[in-house]
Amino acid sequence: MNFERAKSIILIILVGTSIFLTWSIWTYEPEYDKFGDRSNYIKIKSDVQIVSDVVKPVSILFHGNGRHFQTSDPVEINKMEKEFSQWSFTGVKEISVKRLQRKFDDFVHEDGSIEIEFSDDVPISLYKTVLNITDKDVPSFSFDRIIIKQKDISGNESAVYFVSYDQEKIYQGMVDSKRLRDFMDDFYTGSYSKHPEYTAETINSKRTLFVPEKSIKVNRLQYYIDNLDIGNLKNALFNDPKYVRQEPVSVGEEYTDGTRLMTINKENYLISYINPAQKDKLFSSSGDLLQKSIDFINDHAGWEDNNYRFAYMSENEQRVVFRLFVNGYPAFNESGMTEIEQIWGKEEIYSYERPYFSLASVLPSDESVETLPSGREVLNQLKSKDNIDFKSVEDISIGYKLHKSLDSKLVTLVTLEPTWYYRIGDKWFIVPGDTGGDQSGLE
């Protein structure tokens, strides 16, 4: 083979290779995920909240020597949560049947115990992500308080109780006794000197409430606010945001794709979304319902200032409510400016209502201390009103009434006024009379 022939062969090979590579580039079709196979909303990077961030105790009751003490201090609650989340629970089982001969209320509020209370029943199927339950199979139940009893601590393992107050159900899990002794030493011992004393009031044959013996001093607060990104919400709630039309309305703006509707209320800083196609419900268990509600807000960076806590859930309605908490106290507003409410439909969210602001910075110069009446005075007020069914009252709590205003530079402020509230069912009302306010229902 001479040199010229070799060059020709090499040239042919190079040209052929070039043609093949060019053809491969032109005909290459990458495999993209189909949009329809993805979630029904666009995920946006955010500071994700996990179950222990959102599903938290609202108060701790200490019972001892016929007296009762309570705290809602977030620092102490977080410290207590950190402790019991490190325990190993075994042998979780129902013991309700064994205690039918004993008055249920006496068991729950027994002397020498700590009662850790939640806003509403929490599914153990969800909360076991917070606790370390070593059992392979855990019974299905919900609870609204965890109880540790000093007298039951003995031997190597001792019982911790999960109680559903409304259902009168009691479950127990076994925990290392040394851990429980250390826990009681840290939190129960000396509680009478650290926390205000509360008085017990029997509301009816099935319910006892605890209210402070003396008047309570609570800070009145004012905050500047920041706004949530409306674009993030629009992208999260509409399958294909490029087909969404924006129209002005009297209170703000509306966004629609012909089926879904999102309304921006600029007067009260509220967002209301509805998807009528999802009106029919596909019923999820309470644990799944609460988990997907948390995930839904995570996916569009919707927790704002991370001050929202699980407040209420209805499995029948497929409805979940998260409430704004400030310094351990729940906040209320008659327009819904302190709540995130979700109602789930057949395949995705049916209704979504929420504020689109966060508490940015407190104004320390405007902070003042207000003195609220004692719990005994509040009880007397409720009993004296003919239009209030006292025996139906399920909770009494100090909360913040939120209202907005403008400063001298026309910057929006929100003020949090300490106020007494009572609850019947899932509705909260301002206690009337000397404690101020009206009787408008607050979902």
| Per-residue model confidence (pLDDT) at position 281 | 87
Reading the block at residue 207, the tokens are 């319910």
CB of 434 within 8 A of CB of 381? Answer: yes
Report the alpha-carbon distance of residue 396 to residue 349 in Å, rounded.
32
* DSSP code, position 238: S
What does each C-alpha distance from 126 to 123, 138, 207, 294 come to in angstroms?
5, 11, 26, 11
pLDDT at 251: 83
Residue 182 CB: number of other CB atoms within 10 A? 12
**pTM to 2 decimals?**
0.86
- First-to-final CA distance of the chain: 94
Residue-level pLDDT, tens digit, the chain, 443 residues: 555 665 566 666 665 666 655 555 544 444 434 333 333 434 444 468 999 999 999 999 999 999 999 999 999 999 999 999 999 999 999 998 655 445 888 899 999 999 999 999 999 999 999 999 999 999 999 999 999 999 999 999 999 999 999 999 999 999 999 999 999 999 999 888 899 999 999 998 889 999 999 999 999 999 999 888 888 888 889 988 889 999 888 889 999 999 999 999 999 999 999 999 998 888 889 999 999 999 999 988 888 778 999 999 999 999 999 999 999 999 999 999 999 999 999 989 999 999 999 998 888 765 689 999 999 999 999 999 999 999 999 999 999 999 998 876 778 899 999 999 999 999 999 999 755 444 444 54
CA–CA dist 28, 24 (Å, integer): 6
Determine the distance from the C-alpha atom of residue 313 to the mean position of all C-alpha atoms in its chain, rounded to a whole number: 10
Predicted confidence at residue 328, as pLDDT, reads 95
Distance of CA 409 to the CA centre of its chain: 34
Lookup: tokens for 62: 């200490």
Residue that has been written with the tokens 């069912």 in this structure: 425
Please state whether beta strands 261-265 and 270-274 pair in parallel, antiparallel, or not at all (unpaired): antiparallel
Structure confidence at residue 375 (pLDDT): 96
Distance CA 147, CA 289 (A): 25
Joined tokens for residue 259: 């089926």
At 242, the amino acid letter reads K
What DSSP character marks residue 36?
Answer: G
